[in-house]
Amino acid sequence: MAIYENFTFKGHTGTVYEVDFNDDSGALASASGDQTARVWRLGSDGAGDGAAPTSTVLEHPSFVYCVRFHPASSHSVLATGSYDKVETRKAVLNPNEHFL
């Protein structure tokens, strides 16, 4: 029987438009009307140890309406789409490190 934990992800100050989960790193990305995308990790080491989720903030000049992890990348690549019509890509060489 699987055991699931509930987490509340606090940090965005605007509407959250989309989320995406990366199976490889266990990270969750969110796109928001507060002009940020966030990459969330559970606990301090990503192990889901019951600690509150932490996030890395990726700022944009306008609201962010989409976010997606690249499904076939050898390392974690996150693409975001913003109302300023600019696609942004962020890469992480190690899924446990901060985004560049």
Q: What is the pLDDT of residues 15-41, one digit of tens each?
A: 999 999 887 777 889 999 999 999 888
Q: How far apart are CA 100 and CA 17, in angstroms?
A: 23
Of 98 and 68, which is predicted with more confidence? 68
- Residue 1: the pLDDT is 63
φ and ψ of 16, to 5 deg: -90, 120
Q: Which secondary-structure segment (H or E) carries 65?
A: strand 64-69
Residue-wise pLDDT for 59-74, tens only, equals 888 999 999 988 776 5
Q: What is the DSSP letter of 23?
A: T
Those residues with Cβ within 8 angstroms of residue 17's Cβ, 6 or more apart along the chain or in another chain: 31, 32, 33, 63, 64, 65, 66
Q: What percent of the chain is predicted at pLDDT more than 70? A: 65
List the structure tokens of 85.
């019509």
